[in-house]
């Protein structure tokens, strides 16, 4: 899933995302809550309509950004008090409030409010954090079930949603809520987290609290521990990963969804992923390289422009640089998922 923090996948227009085959993008609840605000978005018919995106949308709970961006945080059992990183204004997020904001945004998939356990965290801290996340998960789910049908603005949608290929079918429920497995780097806590969430019966399950600085074999260990426990008939989502080889590895293990700012953020810094490995397009050696960025890629950038031109745009600080680089990296990531899907389908067929 390309990440569209503030209602835009940075520098990439919606029609291009469609043409690249992006089926779902992610919006950050924390950012959209602060700017332009969930109430204006609700009044305007929800995020799909506001940003003109007729396909899938997922919103995170806001928790991750509250913990990573906001200032003067104070966590209680009830929720998190924080100040905006933009203007210092004071806010209070509870599981109920996060769900209210996400219902107002109107995404297809909502995430339970959780605490992303930091790394490293000792066992006592990881246990406390998990206990909080599980309590918040239950409160998120209860509030969601009580309020998810109260979406009057939904009727005003002018853009049709994509058919749910993985959802629970033709139910009247128009939004789904996922629970988030936490537990730090402790396998038994991860198992406990998964089991408790499955008892609550969410529409899908995410594995959070990974890619937070831990070594990569630990990431894999946690995913391998949790994944087999999660129901195979519901979407399984690993949050915030990763590099192309990670994406491929986890997808082959059975992960259905991943999100990461890496393809777009790296692109803006000139780091491009290709079938021939990573390229830093700023390099002088590309100054007269008339080949395409990736000879095996059929994206609009590789089909039209040379490495020399992309290098020139980057070197000159041109706005087009971020756009073209991002388009290629997203195409590369979406291509990985398509390839894995094809290969898994072939195995099963």
Q: Does 77 contact a second copy by CB under 8 A?
A: no
Among 13, 120, 254, 291, binds a second copy (CB under 8 A): 13
Query: What is the rounded CA–CA span in Å between residue 133 and residue 197?
Result: 10
Does position 254 interact with a second copy (CB under 8 A)? The reply is no
* Of 230-238, 254-262, 311-319, 340-348: span binding a second copy (CB under 8 A): 311-319
| Interface with a second copy (CB under 8 A), residue from 89, 170, 316, 347 | 316
The answer to whether 114 is a known catalytic residue is: no
* Bridge partner residues of 181 (DSSP): 207
Question: Could you tell me the smallest distance in angstroms from the CB atom of residue 289 to a second copy?
Answer: 9
Q: How many residues does the chain have?
A: 349
d(CA 294, CA 273): 8
As measured in angstroms, the least distance from the Cβ of 44 to a second copy is 6
- Dist. CA 71–CA 62, nearest whole Å: 14
- By the rule CB under 8 A, 112 interacts with a second copy: no
Q: Does 331 bind a second copy (CB under 8 A)?
A: no
In the complex, least distance from residue 87 CB atom to a second copy, rounded to whole angstroms: 13
CA distance 345 to 349: 6
Q: From 50, 49, 58, 61, select the one nearest 3 (Cα to Cα).
A: 58
DSSP-derived secondary structure letter, 160: P
**Are 97 and 144 spatial neighbours (Cβ–Cβ below 8 Å)?**
no
How far from 107 is each of 85, 141, 175, 325, CA to CA, in Å? 24, 16, 7, 27
| Count of C-beta atoms within a 10 Å radius of residue 86 | 11
Under rule CB under 8 A, residue 2 binds a second copy: no
3-state secondary structure of 280: strand
Rounded Cα distance between 198 and 133, Å, is: 14
Query: Which is closer to a second copy, CB of 200 or CB of 320?
Result: 320
Please pick, among 108, 114, 256, 259, the residue that the annotation labels catalytic: 259
The answer to whether residue 259 is catalytic is yes
82 is a contact residue toward a second copy (CB under 8 A)? no
Residues in binding contact with a second copy, number by CB under 8 A? 37
Q: Which is nearer to a second copy, 15 or 77 (CB)?
A: 15
Nearer to a second copy, 116 or 327 (CB): 327
User: Which of residues 252, 269, 304, 339 is near a second copy by CB under 8 A?
Assistant: 304
CA distance 191 to 225: 7
Q: What track of x and - describes contact with a second copy for positions 256 through 295 (by CB under 8 A)?
A: -------------------------------xx-x-----
**Could you say which residues in the range 30-49 bind a second copy, by CB under 8 A?**
35-36, 40, 43-45
In the beta sheet, which residues pair with residue 80? 75, 93
Distance CA 67, CA 85 (A): 11
Pick the catalytic residue from 60, 108, 203, 294.
60
Active site residues: 60, 259
Which residues contact a second copy (rule: CB under 8 A)?
6-8, 10-15, 35-36, 40, 43-45, 50-52, 287-288, 290, 300, 304-306, 308-309, 312-313, 315-316, 318-320, 322-324
């Amino acid at each position: 899933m390309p990440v569209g923090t503030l209602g835009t996948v940075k520098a990439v227009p919606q029609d291009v995302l469609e043409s690249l085959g992006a089926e779902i993008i992610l919006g950050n609840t924390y950012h959209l809550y602060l700017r332009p605000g969930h109430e204006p978005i609700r009044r305007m018919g929800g995020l799909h309509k506001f940003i003109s995106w007729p396909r899938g949308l997922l919103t995170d709970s806001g928790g991750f950004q509250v913990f990573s961006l906001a200032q003067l945080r104070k966590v209680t059992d009830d929720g998190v008090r924080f100040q905006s990183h933009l203007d210092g204004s004071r806010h209070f997020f509870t599981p109920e409030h996060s769900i209210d904001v996400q219902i107002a945004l109107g995404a297809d998939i909502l995430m339970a409010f959780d605490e992303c356990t930091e790394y490293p965290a000792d066992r006592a801290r990881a246990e406390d954090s998990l206990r909080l996340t599980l309590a918040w998960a239950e409160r998120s789910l209860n509030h969601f079930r009580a309020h998810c049908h109260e979406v009057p603005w939904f009727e005003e949608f002018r853009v049709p949603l994509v058919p749910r290929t993985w959802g629970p079918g033709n139910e009247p429920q128009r939004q789904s809520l996922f629970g988030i497995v936490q537990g730090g780097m402790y396998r038994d806590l991860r198992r406990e987290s998964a089991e408790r969430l499955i008892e609550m019966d969410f529409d899908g399950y995410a594995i959070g609290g990974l890619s937070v600085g831990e070594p990569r074999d630990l990431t894999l260990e946690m995913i391998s521990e949790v994944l087999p426990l999660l129901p195979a008939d519901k979407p399984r989502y690993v949050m915030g990963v990763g590099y192309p080889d990670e994406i491929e590895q986890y997808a082959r293990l059975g992960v259905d969804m991943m999100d990461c700012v890496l393809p777009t953020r790296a692109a803006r810094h000139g780091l491009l992923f290709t079938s021939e490995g990573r390229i830093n397009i700023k390099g002088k050696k590309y100054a007269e390289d008339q080949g395409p960025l990736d000879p095996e890629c059929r994206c609009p950038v590789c089909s039209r422009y040379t490495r020399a031109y992309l290098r020139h745009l980057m070197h000159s600080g041109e706005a087009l640089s971020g756009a073209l680089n991002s388009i290629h990296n997203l195409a590369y990531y979406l291509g990985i998922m398509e390839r894995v899907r094809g290969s898994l389908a072939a195995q099963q067929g």
